[in-house]
Amino acid sequence: MVSRFRGIPGLDVREDVSLKALTRFALGGPARGLLDISTEEALTAGLARAAETGCRSALIGGGTNLIPADEGFPGLVLRYTANLIDADGSVVTVEAGALLQNLVDFTIAHGLKGLETMTGIPGWVGGAVYGNAGAYGHSIQERIERVRFFDGKQFREIGNSACEFQYRESIFKKRKEWIVVSVGLQLEPGEPEVLRQTAEDILKIRNQKYPPDMRCAGSIFKNLIFGGLSSEVQAQVPEKVIREGKVPSAFFLEQVGAKGMVNGGIRVADYHANLIYNSGKGTSRELREIVDTLKLRVKSTYGLELEEEVQYL
């Protein structure tokens, strides 16, 4: 079946690929095939061929927020890998397969301000748009001018407001058949040395909290909007905990004993209640069990429904 995709220009095909090798958690079983797609033409051709074969398919990005099943995926995993970055004055156009860190470094080197606080966030640009990635009070939506995507029939472009960005949300999470292929960002002039220093300071903090070699997705749960909590729950949150109008999920998780929890090879960090990682021999099932346990504890104690940032395959 996978052999039917060979010969399409801009499409690299591999059979029986371990999903562990494609995810930062290092979890998941095999996929029947992996299609790395580097051009828009290859994307349409590959999707058309997949429809002809009737094979299941799933699109992923850099795999930093992905938890595949231990059994694997009985179909084709697609990645859009085009990764060019270009600047025209203060407008930067970047393809979805570019590393987010490469985009941050590019903007700093070109003296463009607006993305330096995202240094150290792993993953690809397409995934950053999909999940409206951000850190330190800023998110990528603030700089997005337009997004080009394939809707299953044609390539389209929409502006910022049509992307329906919210905290860690976008229209692309609701319309999973839409595939982001490139993004236009509006930045502003800045001093490269100042931007670089800001990024380096942030990276030191981030690497202490989330070491680059740690098998994790950063924070596992979304933070909560303080204004959306009941008055009863609000009264239990110390003012010093609230940041930019949000309450870290770690606050609630810590109160219900999350720190240091262990389930097989999956652990919650001793120093951060919202950091779950694979110690090396964990499974997706073990991770889901810890996630479900913590959600149940927080709901039982506070009546809150925690929501994962991670996506399941």
Q: Which residues are catalytic?
A: 168, 219, 309
Cα 83 to Cα 37: distance, rounded to the nearest angstrom: 11
Q: Which of 263, 231, 224 is nearest to 245 (CA)?
A: 224
Indicate the SS3 state at residue 105.
Answer: helix
The two tokens of residue 74 are: 């009985």
251-257: long-range contacts, CB 8 A cutoff, minimum separation 24: 252/224, 252/298, 252/301, 252/302, 252/304, 252/306, 253/221, 253/294, 253/298, 253/306, 255/301, 256/294, 256/297, 256/298, 256/301, 257/297
Distance CA 237, CA 242 (A): 8
- Strands 266-268 vs 311-312: parallel, antiparallel or unpaired: unpaired
What DSSP line would sit under 231-268, residue for residue?
Answer: HHHHTTS-GGG-BTTEE-HHHHHHHTT-TT-EETTEEE
CA atoms within 13 A on the CB side of 251: 19
Token representation of residue 308: 């994962």
DSSP-H helix ranges across the chain: 40-53, 100-109, 125-130, 171-174, 192-209, 231-234, 249-255, 284-302
Question: 131: number of CA atoms within 13 Å, CB side?
Answer: 27
Per the DSSP assignment, residues forming a β-bridge with 113 are 188
CA pair distance 176, 57, nearest whole angstrom: 12
